[in-house]
Amino acid sequence: MQLSKFPRATLAHLPTPLEYMPRLSEHLGGPDIYVKRDDCTGLASGGNKTRKLEFSMGEALALGADTIITVGAIQSNHVRQTAAAACKLGLACEVMLEHRVQQPSDTYSNSGNVFLDRIYGANLHEYPAGTDFDAVMAEIADEVSSKGGTPYYIPGGASNAVGALGYVQCGVELLSQCEQQNLAFDHIVTATGSAGTHAGLAVGLRGSGSDLPILGFGVNAPQDVQEERVFKLAVETADLVSAPGCVTRDDIVADCNYIGSGYGEPTESMNEAILMLARQEGLLFDPVYSGKALAGMIDYIRKDRFSKGQKIVFLHTGGSAGLFAYSDSLRT
Ligand SMILES: *Cc1c(COP(=O)(O)O)cnc(C)c1O
């Protein structure tokens, strides 16, 4: 695998810390639980998109782009980090925001991530769920070009092979931290949505010869759809880093039983998980992704699917800015 040949913008604080969570581990009475702190990537209050954007933005700059176009839900963490990265690099940012949540509260529509998008001065366009974003994107790109600009499109979650390189690098970084700290994990757990994190991680680990099992907790799609999405992107990413075939279909495992009624819709177990991590470890998780993945991990421990004597690492993908958008619906 060769990552150094890809253009890259410097955006993230790396390496992110790898920390033990003693109080949570004791509280749950199961495995030793560690956290990989990708909530601490630094930009715009942190999160996993910043690692991906180092490569997406690197390519945009290499191609001479001056305007980024991207897409996400109203409370998209990806959009927030993209808007901030565009500011840092002196690029304009056009955003297509999709209304994906049923009957959003006023807070959901205006606080949290979308509030920060406005602070970053991103040009926000809002659309109903199910909009054909390829068509809208083409229109926006035409408009940018007609004014003499050079657009660069970053897909939702920066989840194409270029963006996934950020998580190939994260996999490599984690292995080197394990070596330094003399740690061997039995499992890595992450939230999985637009798939770039899960796919990149799989390539980073398998491409480095690690067989560490990866479990993704899904946040929107059913298991078969999510696993196929991740696998397809992992194959493309493995090809891009000249490690074709390093990830097999069996490497990709997603559990999509903790979504509740839909993407971004609160669940009781997510609410419990967020309060538990805050009160045991002082950490902030998010209602849409990391909170639901934590709920899954906690349930696995309670059901003894992860057990005493094992070591688990949870990849904290960030998103705490989204908490503020859910202040009406989260029980404290
Ligand atoms: C986007 C996001 C994820 C999911 O990552 P994907 O690469 O889209 O699968 C997980 N957690 C948070 C906080 C996110 O913003």
Q: What is the pLDDT of residues 41-57, one digit of tens each?
A: 999 999 999 999 999 99
**% the chain with pLDDT above 70:** 100
- Residue 207 banded pLDDT, cuts 50, 70, 90: very high
Q: Taking residues 140-156, what's their average pLDDT?
A: 98
Ligand 1 pocket mutation, candidates 56, 190, 197, criterion most atoms within 8 A of CB: 197
List the strands of the sheet with 18-20, edge to edge: 18-20, 32-37, 311-316, 187-192, 214-218, 253-255
Q: What are the structure tokens assigned to 127, written together?
A: 């659309």
How far does the centroid of ligand 1 lie from the alpha carbon of residue 191, in Å?
A: 6
Question: Hey, do 3-48+161-326 and 49-158 end up sharing a CATH topology, with the first three levels equal?
Answer: yes
* pTM, to two decimals: 0.98
Pocket lining: 198 vs ligand 1, CB cutoff 6 Å: yes
CA distance 216 to 199: 10
| Record: fold of 3-48+161-326 | Rossmann fold (3.40.50)
Atom of ligand 1 nearest to the CA of 52: 7
pLDDT of residue 102: 85
Q: Please name the residues in contact with 275: beta carbons below 8 A apart, sequence gap of 6 or more.
A: 331, 332
Q: What is the DSSP letter of 250?
A: G
Pocket lining: 318 vs ligand 1, CB cutoff 6 Å: yes
pLDDT of residue 55: 98
pLDDT of residue 268: 98
How far does the centroid of ligand 1 lie from the alpha carbon of residue 198, in Å?
A: 9
Pocket lining: 290 vs ligand 1, CB cutoff 6 Å: yes
pLDDT of residue 188: 98
State how beta strands 187-192 and 311-316 pair.
Answer: parallel
How far does the centroid of ligand 1 lie from the alpha carbon of residue 155, in Å?
A: 13
76 is catalytic: yes
How far does the centroid of ligand 1 lie from the alpha carbon of residue 158, in Å?
A: 10
In angstroms and rounded to an integer, the radius of gyration of the C-alpha atoms of the chain is 19
Atom of ligand 1 nearest to the CA of 216: 9
pLDDT of residue 2: 85
Domain edges within the chain: 3-48+161-326, 49-158
How far does the centroid of ligand 1 lie from the alpha carbon of residue 213, in Å?
A: 19
CATH class of 49-158: alpha beta
Pocket lining: 39 vs ligand 1, CB cutoff 6 Å: no
Tens-place pLDDT, residues 95-146? 999 998 888 999 999 999 999 999 999 999 999 999 999 999 999 999 999 9
- Residue 294 banded pLDDT, cuts 50, 70, 90: very high
Catalytic residue from among 25, 45, 56, 76 = 76
| Residue 234: pLDDT over 90 | yes
Q: Taking residues 31-36, what's their average pLDDT?
A: 98
| Residue 313: pLDDT over 90 | yes
| Residue 1: pLDDT over 90 | no
Q: What are the structure tokens assigned to 44, written together?
A: 């715009």
CA distance 236 to 214: 18
Atom of ligand 1 nearest to the CA of 322: 13
pLDDT of residue 216: 98
Ligand 1 pocket mutation, candidates 38, 39, 40, 49, criterion most atoms within 8 A of CB: 49
